[in-house]
């Protein structure tokens, strides 16, 4: 059965444990950044950050409030990034059928910068990134090595607030709908984002335009 994440942003405290766990598990190097007047760091996804906790500051009901969004690849059910890559090099982007994980392979190094830009533009969520030195395209790989060993993805294992959840896709969808029903009482505009077309279902509490993530 396909796997899915359910990410309940109402529970996120922006501790960034998931972001760090992702880097640690994948052995990704640090990235030098500058203070940009926000707690969000790094400022955007990059080839060495597959997970990024986005911070959006708003005045809500007269109070300064933050909306947190632990951004990552959505493992689309019919991934447009793969369709675009297939038109250039077959097998550069593959889907692991048992889980539905969308995986970028070493073959992505053979893609040109223009082809990478096409792939990035085809992603509805602006996720793929390219290492300028090696040409490798990268993003969240669902921690496929862990999942195939019956372990949770590193970000899910680390999250202690219940924001990050992972399991069989129908189970996650049922859980997401239950949480949505509860949250609707406090947040009438709460919704699930594209739940029928992705393997990573986000529950958001406020209108999409209030989030800097591409949703
Ligand atoms: Fe949010 Fe959980 Fe990530 Fe912390 S570990 S930032 S609570 S999703
Ligand atoms: Fe990173 Fe793995 Fe979580 Fe994807 S599933 S964001 S690769 S820790
Ligand atoms: Fe590809 Fe973007 Fe979908 Fe991830 S979110 S599978 S990068 S199209």
Same domain, 177 and 132: no
Instruction: Classify 110 as helix, strand or coil.
Output: helix
User: H-helix or E-strand containing 21?
Assistant: helix 17-26
Same domain, 118 and 150: no
* Number of domains comprising the chain: 2
* Residue 60 domain-assigned (yes or no): yes
Q: How far apart, in whole angstroms, are the C-alpha atoms of residue 91 and residue 200? A: 23
**CB of 197 sitting under 6 A from ligand 3:** no
Cα(86) to centroid of ligand 3, in Å?
Answer: 14
pLDDT, position 14: 98
Instruction: Classify 30 as helix, strand or coil.
Output: coil
Distance (Å) of CA 40 to CA 69, 93, 100, 154, 211? 10, 29, 30, 20, 13
* Residue 23 domain-assigned (yes or no): yes
| CATH number of the domain residue 68 falls in | 3.30.70.20
Ligand 2, atom 1: closest residue by C-alpha: 22
**CB of 79 sitting under 6 A from ligand 3:** yes
**CB of 15 sitting under 6 A from ligand 1:** yes
Beta-strand pair 200-204/3-8 = parallel
Instruction: Classify 115 as helix, strand or coil.
Output: helix
pLDDT, position 67: 97
Ligand 3, atom 4: closest residue by C-alpha: 73
Ligand 2, atom 4: closest residue by C-alpha: 140
Output the six-digit token pair for 149.
Answer: 């060993």
User: H-helix or E-strand containing 24?
Assistant: helix 17-26
Which of residues 140, 170, 187 is at a domain's end? 140
Q: Give the list of residues 6+ apart from residue 112 with CB closer than 8 angstroms, or none.
A: none
* Residue 215 domain-assigned (yes or no): no
**CB of 142 sitting under 6 A from ligand 2:** yes
Mean pLDDT by groups of 10 residues along the chain of 215 residues: 95 98 97 91 97 96 95 98 97 98 98 98 98 98 98 98 98 98 97 97 97 95
Same domain, 135 and 183: no
Cα(44) to centroid of ligand 2, in Å?
Answer: 16
Same domain, 164 and 132: no
Domain residues for the domain of 111 are 80-140
* Residue 42 domain-assigned (yes or no): yes
**CB of 200 sitting under 6 A from ligand 3:** no
Q: Give the list of residues 6+ apart from residue 72 with CB closer than 8 angstroms, or none.
A: 50, 51, 52, 127, 139, 140, 155, 200
pLDDT, position 180: 98
**CB of 45 sitting under 6 A from ligand 3:** no
Output the six-digit token pair for 196.
Answer: 């029928």
């Amino acid at each position: 059965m396909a796997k899915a994440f359910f990410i309940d942003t109402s529970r996120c405290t922006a501790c960034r444990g998931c972001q760090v766990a992702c880097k640690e598990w994948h052995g990704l190097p640090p990235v030098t950044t500058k203070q940009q007047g926000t707690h969000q760091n790094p400022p955007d996804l990059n080839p060495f950050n597959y997970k990024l906790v986005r911070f959006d500051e708003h005045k809500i009901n007269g109070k300064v409030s933050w909306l947190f969004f632990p951004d990552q690849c959505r493992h689309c059910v019919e991934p447009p990034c793969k369709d675009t890559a297939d038109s250039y090099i077959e097998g550069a982007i593959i889907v692991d059928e048992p889980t539905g994980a969308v995986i970028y392979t070493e073959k992505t190094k053979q893609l040109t910068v223009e082809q990478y830009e096409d792939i990035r533009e085809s992603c509805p969520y602006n996720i793929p990134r390219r290492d300028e030195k090696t040409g490798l395209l990268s993003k969240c790989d669902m921690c496929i090595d862990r999942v195939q060993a019956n372990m949770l993805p590193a970000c899910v294992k680390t999250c202690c607030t219940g924001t990050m959840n992972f399991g069989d896709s129908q189970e996650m969808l049922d859980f997401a709908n239950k949480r949505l029903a509860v949250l609707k009482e406090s947040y009438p505009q709460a919704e699930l984002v594209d739940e029928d077309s992705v393997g990573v279902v986000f529950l958001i509490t406020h209108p999409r335009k209030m989030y800097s993530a591409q949703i």
